[in-house]
């Protein structure tokens, strides 16, 4: 029989968030696979866990872990903080284990994305976890444009050295939507900053710690705004001689929507008018 791959959540800040079950599993498995063994060893020492520890990250061949599972050994996979396999190399290990019909068992616990969401004050009924945005400016802008018309709340992870730049790009693409930044979650200096995207960067101060950004979804999709609420304004501006780009920018500011949303609506409007003309 093959072993079991346990996905064990670890604290994202406060060590008291470690669950009794997580401690028990880490004590009982044959080996613990950790993203950063130095970081995890401190956690194991704190809870007096003496299970053998091996490294597993994007540079380690997953087959080494799979072979242990094939031999019947139980393996606990942990990340540096929170749930493994979320924006984490553990996800690849899970896919390979599932492909071989190896049992995968969650041991849930602290999670930064959900912790930030429930304290954000934004809608929690529907949300999309977008994780880390691409490093390339071009790819990042494409990803933001893809997300611009999503009606559900959006959740992102971000590093301190990029946070202000990312917020500026979000404000440009999404408009000045309500948003919340969470940092130092469950730690002594835990902080939630709530404001429009355009104002958030100025409220951060010196960027320290890992960030979670929670952004309100598109009101254009969420509330199904009547076209006359913004398209009539757009058409009036065009009729008055305002160029297309300026008209889109003005309408976006007026209705607190992103320029991408307005642009897409204008394209649909113009396409519809063209098709109506063909039918006539």
Question: For 238-255, how does the pLDDT look when each residue is reduced to its tens digit (9 = 90+)?
Answer: 887 778 888 888 788 777
The model's confidence at residue 229, banded by pLDDT at 50, 70 and 90, is low
| CA torsion, ordered 11, 17, 19, 25, to nearest 10 deg | 20
Q: Are 45 and 214 in contact (CB under 8 A)?
A: no
pLDDT in tens, 36-94: 999 999 999 999 999 999 999 888 888 899 999 999 999 999 999 999 998 888 899 99
Q: Are 212 and 116 in contact (CB under 8 A)?
A: yes
- Among 78-92, 103-117, 143-157, 187-201, the range of highest mean pLDDT: 103-117
Q: How much is the pTM?
A: 0.77
The model's confidence at residue 273, banded by pLDDT at 50, 70 and 90, is low
| CA torsion, ordered 162, 166, 168, 173, to nearest 10 deg | 170
CA dist 263 and 243 (Å) reads 13
With 70 as the cut, is the pLDDT of residue 224 above it? no
C-alpha radius of gyration, the chain, whole number:
24
Give Cα 79 to chain centroid, integer Å: 16
Average pLDDT value over all residues in the chain:
88
The arrangement of strands across the sheet holding 178-183 comes to 127-132, 153-158, 211-215, 178-183, 191-196
């Amino acid at each position: 029989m093959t072993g079991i791959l346990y996905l064990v959540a670890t604290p994202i800040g406060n060590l008291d968030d470690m669950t009794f079950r997580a401690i028990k599993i880490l004590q009982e498995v044959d080996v613990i696979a950790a993203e950063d063994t130095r970081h995890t060893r401190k956690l194991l020492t704190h809870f007096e866990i003496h299970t053998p520890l091996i490294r597993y990250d994007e540079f380690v061949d997953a087959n080494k872990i799979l072979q242990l599972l094939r031999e019947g050994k139980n393996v606990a996979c942990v990340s540096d903080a929170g749930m493994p396999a979320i924006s984490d190399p553990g996800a690849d290990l899970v896919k390979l284990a599932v492909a071989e019909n190896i049992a995968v068992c969650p041991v849930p616990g602290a999670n930064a994305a959900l912790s930030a969401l429930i304290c954000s004050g934004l809608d929690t009924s529907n949300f999309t976890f977008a994780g880390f945005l691409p490093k390339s400016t071009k790819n990042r802008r494409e990803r933001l444009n893809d997300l611009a018309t999503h009606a559900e709340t959006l959740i992102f992870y971000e590093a301190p050295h990029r946070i202000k730049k990312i917020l500026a790009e979000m404000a440009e693409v999404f408009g000045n939507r309500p948003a919340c930044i969470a940092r130092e979650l469950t730690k002594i200096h835990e902080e939630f900053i709530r404001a429009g995207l355009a104002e958030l960067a100025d409220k951060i101060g010196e960027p320290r710690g890992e960030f979670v950004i929670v952004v309100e979804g598109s009101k254009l999709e969420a509330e199904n705004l009547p076209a006359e609420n913004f398209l009539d304004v757009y058409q009036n501006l065009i009729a008055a001689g305002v160029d297309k780009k300026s008209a889109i920018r003005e309408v976006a500011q007026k209705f607190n929507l992103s320029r991408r949303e307005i642009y897409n609506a204008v394209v649909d409007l113009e396409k519809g008018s063209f098709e109506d003309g063909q039918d006539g």
